[in-house]
Every structure is written in C-alpha cells, then in structure tokens.
Amino acid sequence: MSRLPAIDPELPDQAELIVRRLSQYTELSPEEVSLLRGLSESPERLPAGAELISEGQRLDRPRLLLAGWACRQHYLSDGRRQIFDFILPGDAFGLCFRPQAVALCNTITLTRAVVSDAAGLADAVLNHGGAYSGLTAACLLSASADEAYMLNQMVRIGRQTAYERVANLVLELHHRLGVVGLARDGVLPMPLTQEMIADALGLSIVHLNRTLQQLRRDGLLEVRGGIARLFDMQKLKSLADFHEPKLAVRRMEERALSSHAAAH
C-alpha cells in the first residue's frame, strides 16, 4: 500500500477525492466542482517526513493532499510525540477561517505524498463566498467535522481503554476513507507504523502491539501489510462507542431519503 497512484494533470482522478469529500455536506454547482478538479493541475511529490506546515507559521498557503498520509503533531522536549489527527487523501489543510491565523502545531507527511496548491479554493470561500455558496458551506461543515474528530480524539485518549481506542480510531479512519471511496466493506489502507498509531493513541508500542493481537484473537480487527480489516463492524462500533459526526440535519435527511428511494 506504499505505492502512490499516478498523478496526471490530464486525468485529475485525485481531485475527485475532495469533490466526494465536500459533496457529502452540500450540493456543489458545476462551477464549484470544476474549481475543485482544477486543484490537481500542479502536483508536488514529497517524501515521508517532509514538513508541510511549521508551528507558528502563518496559515496563508492552503494545500490539498492528493495521495499519501500526513498528520498534525507536537513533540515534547524529551522527544515524546503526540499525533493530534491524520490528514487523508482528499483533505485540504492550511485553510483557516480565522483572520491572521498561525499554525498551532506542525504538520508533516507520514508516507510519500503528493500535494497541490489550494489557493483557488481559499480565494473562493474567503473572498467570493456569495458566488461559491455551496463550496463555502461545505468547507464550513468540513471544519466542523474536523472539530468533531478532535473532540472524539480527546475522549478516545482521555477516557477509553487501549482496546476501545484502537477500535475507535480504525472505525473513524474507515468512515473518513469510505466517504471518498478508499475504504469499503470493512477494509481500508493503513500505511502507518505501530509507532505512529501508538503516538496517536497515547500508548506505548508494546501496549499497542498487545492490544492489536487481542483484537485479532477476538476476531474483530486485523492490521497487516498496510491493510486493516474489520470483521464485525457493528460489534466494534458498540464496544468503541463510535458514532459518525452529524453536522447538517437537512443534508443528512436528504441523503437518507435519496438512499431509501434508490432502494425502492
């Protein structure tokens, strides 16, 4: 799973990921979809460990992750690391609605990655919101989703057991990747080392390893060869107390009605 998909400006498949991600929140106009698809025209390939944003840097260069994984993180003075969240393919980062905002932590690539400039997206939603109302609403709801995931991370680390933490994190990643078509039927890419997962969950590598083995023995979850497999989604959701964030009642109801109509 370390191989990256080819990036071809003439075939902007990777830009479709952000179209899918933002379309889950609201209807986008053809002009807005065209703008998003154009974001992949100048891809930049980066190695694992490349710094994307440094702590204290002004957030004036938004970008889009086309391929690979990244994270927001913070190091303590003794070298211990806390990963706050993961940036996945199809995610925009460095886009902030606060005036004169600076980064509160640093952002790095965790795998080889491909990014592109998202200045056009920022200009549309920050300076021309009236002309791009759907895109502006979608970006605001996406920011709300990021807040929901961060709150979930606080609960995960602060109150859940190691067993629950691992299950909850993998379920969240499955949901986020599933929205853009990169995960389905309980299978998702997991190009993370045990150290990365442990740093995200506030666990030692030894404790994480034992927890992963227990989940596998219980027939619930397996992480092997860069792939995670969830064998009993409902049981995992119950034990991990995992719930998908509900951000826009009207949109969620519309999607539910559409799915019901399609089934009949």
Residue range 72-85: mean pLDDT, rounded: 96
pLDDT of residue 70: 97
Q: Whole-angstrom Cα distance, residue 72 to residue 117? A: 18
Identify the three-state secondary structure at position 240.
helix
**Of all residues in the chain, what percent carry a pLDDT higher than 90?**
80
Question: Do the Cβ atoms of 2 and 190 come closer than 8 Å?
Answer: no
8 A C-beta contact, residue 96 and residue 139: no
Task: Please tell me the distance from the alpha carbon of residue 57 to that of residue 54, in angstroms, as a whole number.
Answer: 5
> In this model, does residue 65 exceed pLDDT 50?
yes
The better pLDDT of the pair 24, 11 is held by: 24
Q: How confident is the model at residue 1 (pLDDT cuts 50, 70, 90)?
A: very low
3-class SS of residue 70: strand
Q: What is the pLDDT of residue 89?
A: 94
Weakest mean pLDDT among 85-89, 102-106, 258-262: 258-262
Which whole number is the average pLDDT over 149-154?
Answer: 96
More confident residue, 115 or 255: 115
Query: 167 with 232: CB under 8 angstroms?
Result: no
Q: Is pTM, for the whole model, over 0.85?
A: yes
Tell me the backbone φ, ψ of residue 261, rounded to 5 degrees.
-65, -40
Q: Are 42 and 117 in contact (CB under 8 A)?
A: yes
**Contact at 8 Å (CB) between 116 and 41?**
yes
Distances, alpha carbon 122 to alpha carbons 24, 60, 75, 168, in Å: 19, 9, 29, 32
Name which of 245, 66, 32 is nearest 141 in CA terms: 245
What dihedral angle (degrees, nearest 10) is formed by the CA atoms of 79, 83, 84, 87? 140
Residue 56: pLDDT over 70: yes
For the 15-263 domain, the top CATH level (class) is: mainly beta
Asked if 174 and 185 count as a contact pair (C-beta separation under 8 A), the reply is: no
- Model confidence pLDDT, tens digit, residues 96-135: 888 888 999 999 999 999 999 999 999 999 999 999 999 9
pLDDT in tens, 185-237: 999 999 999 999 999 999 999 999 999 999 999 999 999 999 999 999 999 99
pLDDT tier at 250, thresholds 50, 70, 90: low
SS3 assignment for 118-161: CHHHHHHHHHCCCCCHHHHHHHHHHHHHHHHHHHHHHHHHHHCC
